[in-house]
Amino acid sequence: QTNNHYDFDIENDHISHHKLDNVDNLDYRNQSEQTNSTNSEDSTASFSNALMNTLNSILGAGLIAIPLAFQYVGITGILIILPLTVLVMDFTMRLIVKNLILSQSKTYQQSVEFAMGNLGKLIILVGNGCFAVGGTISFLIIIGDSLPHVLSFLFPKFSKFFNRSFIILVISFFVCFPLALHRDIGKLGHFSTVACLSMAFIVSSVIIKGPLLNKEYRADNLKLNFKQYGFNFKDIVKGMSIVNFAMICHHNTSMIYQSLKDKSKFKKLIHISTIISGCVIFVIGICGFLTFQDKLQSNILNNFPNNDFLINISRALFAFNMITTYPLEVFVLREVIRDLMYFKSTSVIELDDNYHFGITCGIVFVSSVTATRIENLGTVLELVGSYAGSLMAFILPPIVNMAL
């Protein structure tokens, strides 16, 4: 199988040893592009924009449920699980790109198909699709949980109009839909920068306001039982699923890589983004868990009063974060649908404008209607993180690499 996008043929052994070293460093494609003096039109994102896109993709809906993972497996359990997860995520995201280069592929799906045939293609499409569907629904659930409180706080006379389902539908079609119509993921870099800055504010507000709440909302004391400070194996799957969902952005990895101007910096990009994400996850997790303990809800912002000014700012910012992250999941899901439509095609077929518009509209419609019917965020995160997330992050990348 060959792809004219690259200047080497693996099957005919046209890669020299020094070029294989470049493949290991994830910079071969960049050197090839410089040789050809032609960069892909998709490569428009600077390192900082790509970093913001990656952080925004990782630190999404799962972040506000992280304290619940502490409750499930205990503090000691998280101290073991989280560093291991960060290391595995860093390794497998880089492994995905190495697989892209070795298989002469442009997308994660193509690399799996190259190694495993049509069965592999079907498996990765289903996995990517399920994870992206879960992401789009989760983001809209959070928007529905957050914005009605904020709008009711700002406009109390009109609070009866700020129905959860109404807000989800309005935001979906009038805000998320136009953003999701973009074809280039790099164009969302500036939005992602603002979203990452807002995430820092959200984490800070939870840390600051939590201990100041009266006992009606927070835990009475910091006396933890063994289940809370130890390692609770009984609920380890639930806890790991939430952590997985919070960390996984493997389905976006190929698009982030393709959008990066200087692809030799991808390894550095992944190292920085996973370390930052792991630190943020631990901070909000430990602070939220110690503050609320048994009173924790799946969305930690729901633990705070509806009229808390600072938390309402955080709710608004988090809703904005979900709005800007939502298009990233639509990118993935649209790509999955495209590949299912042209399942037997050996090359990437770009959707024409009509298909692009229609598929995007369908994704937004289905996800928004589903989000109006589901209110339990934790259940969605656990299901998606345990099945689709584990498949994409832990299972397929090493299998594909061994096959190559």
Residue 296: predicted pLDDT: 84
The rounded mean pLDDT for the chain is: 81
User: Does residue 198 register a pLDDT over 80?
Assistant: yes
For the segment 126-148, the average pLDDT, to the nearest whole number, is 88
What band does 353 get if pLDDT is binned at 50, 70 and 90? confident
Lowest mean pLDDT among 136-145, 274-283, 319-328: 319-328
Residue 249: predicted pLDDT: 79
User: Does residue 271 register a pLDDT over 90?
Assistant: yes
What band does 37 get if pLDDT is binned at 50, 70 and 90? very low
Percent pLDDT > 70 in the chain is 83
User: How many CB atoms sit inside 10 A of residue 265's CB?
Assistant: 18
Tokens 């989280």 belong to 82
Tell me how far apart the alpha carbons of residues 22 and 31 are, in angstroms, rounded to a whole number: 9
What band does 39 get if pLDDT is binned at 50, 70 and 90? very low
What band does 313 get if pLDDT is binned at 50, 70 and 90? very high
Tokens 């393709």 belong to 258
Q: Where are the domains of the chain?
A: 42-403
Percent pLDDT > 90 in the chain is 24
Residue 26: predicted pLDDT: 61
CA distances from 360 to 124, 144, 333 (A): 20, 20, 9
Tell me how far apart the alpha carbons of residues 262 and 178 are, in angstroms, rounded to a whole number: 28
Which residues, in sequence order, are CB contacts of 214 under 8 Å at separation 6+?
none
How do residues 91-116 score in pLDDT, each as one tens digit? Answer: 999 999 999 999 888 888 788 888 99
Radius of gyration of the chain (CA): 21
User: Does residue 206 register a pLDDT over 60?
Assistant: yes
User: How many CB atoms sit inside 10 A of residue 155's CB?
Assistant: 11
Tokens 């910079």 belong to 27
For the segment 26-34, the average pLDDT, to the nearest whole number, is 47
Lowest mean pLDDT among 86-90, 162-166, 291-295, 315-319: 291-295
Residue 12: predicted pLDDT: 41
How do residues 251-270 score in pLDDT, each as one tens digit? Answer: 778 888 888 888 888 999 99
pTM of the model: 0.78
User: Does residue 129 register a pLDDT over 80?
Assistant: yes
For the segment 333-351, the average pLDDT, to the nearest whole number, is 83
Cα atoms in the 13 Å half-sphere on the side-chain side of 7 = 14
Which of residues 390 and 90 earns the better pLDDT score?
A: 90
Domain 42-403 -> CATH class: mainly alpha
Tokens 């990348």 belong to 397
User: Does residue 383 register a pLDDT over 50?
Assistant: yes
